[in-house]
Amino acid sequence: MAASRKQKPDLQKKVHEVPHKPGVYLMRDRFNRVIYVGKARDLRKRVSSYFLPSKLAQADLKTRAMLEATWDFETHTVRSDAESVLLEGKLIKEYRPRYNVSFRDDKRFLVVRVDMSEEWPRFRLARFKKDDGSRYFGPYAHAGALRQTLNFMRKKFGVLTFGRGAPTERELKSSTYQLPVRLSEINAEQYRERVAQACDFLEGHSREMISTLESEMHKAAEKMDFEKAAELRNMVDDLRSTTRPTRRFTRGSLPSAIDPMADVQALADALRLPDAPRVMECFDISNISTTHVVASMVCFRDGVPDKNNYRRYRVRTVEGQDDFASVAEVVRRRYSRILLEAREANLDAAEFSQENAFDAARRLQGSACVSLAAEKDSQAGGSCYIRLPDLIIVDGGKGQLSAACRELQRLGVHDLPIIGLAKEREEIYRPGRALPLRLPMDSAALRLLQRIRDEAHRFANAYHQLLMKKRIEESILDDCLGISQNRKNLLLRRFGSVNRLRKASVEEIAATEGIGRKLAEELQRFLQSH
C-alpha cells in the first residue's frame, strides 16, 4: 500500500546525466522490476525522447503503457553498436521484461562452427554453441558481414564452407578453391593447414590482411576504378565487423545496479542479525506430481550464487504431496550430513566428545574450513566445506518454517538464524514471532531474498523436469514383450539409462540377471526399431 501512495518521480533531471554514447537502457516500474530493455547508438538522445510530451501523445498503446509504468531507468555504456546489440539480448534473456517481445530466441546471432574431428573440416554457421569438441567463433551481431567474410575466406584460404564431408566434384573443380594450390592437388592433412590459418584469421589475427586490402583500395581509387575501390572498401568493413574483438557478456558479467554485499548488509539490518549473512542456504520443494517429489538447496555467498555448493534431493520418506514433511526430510539430510562430516574431519575423538556436533562445526569453520569430497546428493561437482550457513531460508510460511526448526532442534542446532519466505505477499516468518515481517517491495533486502528464492525454485524445477524426462525415456521398456517391471529395474540398475542400454551388445544385456540371450536379442531389436 505504501508503494501505491508514492508520487511518481520526475526523470527529466536524470536524463541530462546520460552520456552521448552507445549502450543499453533498462526501464523499471515502481517495484524496481525491469519492464523494458532497449539499445541505442546515442543513449542521451534515445532515453530523452521517451520523456518528451509529444512522445507520449503520439505513442502506440504498448509504448504508452510502458511509459506510464516507468518509475526509474538505468543505462550501461558499451564500446560499439555491435556490443549494444549483444548486451541487449543478454539482458532481455536475464530479466524477461514484460514489454519486450524480440530476443525471445537466439535467431539474431550467429556463430561459426568448425568440427576439427572431421577429415575435411568445414566452416558452418550455427545458432548455439555446444559442448561437442568443435571450435566456435562469435557470436556475431552482423549476419550479412559474417557471410561476406566466409566468402572471403573461401577465396583467400581455399577452405570449405557449409555442406558435409570431403570436397565434392564440383568443389574440386571450382575456381574458388584454386588458391594458393588447387584443392584437388592437396590431401586432407595439407588442407587442415589452411583451416588453421583461417581460424587464426577469425580470432582477430587479420591486421596485415586488412592493411593489404586497404592498400589495394587506394590504388584502385587512384586509377579511377571506383567500382573496384568501393568493393574493396565494403570487404574491409565486413572483415573489421567480423574480426573485431567483441566482449562476451556472460550471466556473471552483465552490468547491473545490484550491489550484492550492500544487499546482504541490508538484509542483516532488516532481520536484526548480529552479523551479515555472508553464506545463505535456501530450500525449495517441487512436487508438481506425486511421481517425483524433489527439493533443491541453493547457496549464496556474499550475495551471489555459489553454484558449486548447490544440492538437489529426491524426497524418499514422504507419501504424496506434503510440503511440511518434505522440508523436514531435506533439512534433516542436509545438516545431519554436515554435522557428521564435522565429526569425521580429522577431529580428535576425546576432544570431540566434550562438545556437540554443532559446536564442533562452528569451531572448525571459525578456524579453517576443512575441504571435503562433494556430497553424493550433489550433481553440481566441485568441493564442499564444513560450513554451516549464516542464514537458512525456507520457501514457505509458518508450516514449512516450523517443520525445518523442529529438525534443526533435533540435531542440536538451536541458534542458527532461519526464516520462511511466503510467496503470496512476500511475508517473512521468523521463529517465535506470531506476525510476519513485511519489507517494502523496493527494499534491497527483499530483492536479495527474492533472487535466492527464485533461484532455488528454478533449480528444483530443472531437477524435476530431468527426472520426468528420464521416466518418459524409461517407459519405452514397458512396451517390450517379456520385460517385466522387475526385469526393467534390473536393466536400468545395471546400465543406468535407456540410452546406455541401446548401445550395449547382446552379450552384455544377456549377462543381466533374469535376461537370457533370446530375450536380449529381442530387446536389442526392439530398441533399434523404437
- Per-residue pLDDT tens digits for 484-520: 777 777 777 777 777 778 778 878 888 887 787 888 7
Looking at the fold, whether 334 and 458 belong to one and the same domain comes out as yes
If asked whether residues 322 and 454 sit together in one domain, one would say: yes
Q: Does the structure show a pLDDT above 90 at 429?
A: yes
Domain match, 371 and 433 both: yes
CATH of the domain at 518: 1.10.150.20
Residue 332 pLDDT:
95
- In the predicted model, what is the mean pLDDT of residues 267-285? 94
Backbone angles phi, psi at 463, to 5 degrees: -70, -40
Q: Integer distance in angstroms from the first to the last C-alpha of the chain? A: 58
- What is the maximum alpha-carbon separation in the chain? 95
CA distances from 516 to 265, 474, 495, 499, 525 (A): 65, 20, 16, 20, 14
| 271, part of any domain | yes
Please give the DSSP secondary-structure letter assigned to residue 279: E
**Do 177 and 221 share a structural domain?**
yes
Residue recorded with cell 524477461: 96
173 found inside a domain: yes
Which CATH number covers residue 413?
A: 3.30.420.340
Mean pLDDT of all residues in 327-354 = 72
Picking from 440, 465, 490, the residue at the C-terminal end of a domain is: 465
Contacts of 273 (CB under 8 A, 6+ apart): 267, 390, 391, 417
**How many domains are there within the chain?**
4
Residues 88 and 202 in one domain: no
Rounded CA gap, 105 and 98, in Å? 15
Same domain, 81 and 132: no
Q: What dihedral do alpha carbons 148, 150, 156, 158 form, nearest 10°?
A: -140
| 254 in a structural domain | no
Radius of gyration of the chain measured on its C-alpha atoms: 30
CATH for 69 = 3.40.1440.10
Average pLDDT over residues 370-389: 47
Residue 368, pLDDT score:
36
Query: Could you tell me if 301 and 372 lie in one domain?
Result: yes
Residues 371 and 491 in one domain: no
Residue 472 covered by a domain: no
Of 95, 120, 144, at which residue does a domain stop?
Answer: 95
The mean-pLDDT minimum among 58-72, 119-133, 282-296 falls in: 282-296
249 within a domain of the structure (yes/no): no
371 in the same domain as 442: yes
Hey, CA dihedral for 324, 327, 330, 332, is it positive or negative? negative
Whether 248 is in a domain gets the answer: no
Same domain flag for 193 and 316? no
Please tell me the predicted confidence (pLDDT) of residue 243: 57
Domain that holds residue 27: 2-95
Same domain, 163 and 291: no
Residues 283 and 217 in one domain: no
Q: Look at residue 126 and tell me if it is in a domain.
A: yes
Q: Which of 36, 65, 95 is the last residue of a domain?
A: 95
What single letter denotes the amino acid at residue 53?
P
pLDDT at residue 427 is higher than 70: yes
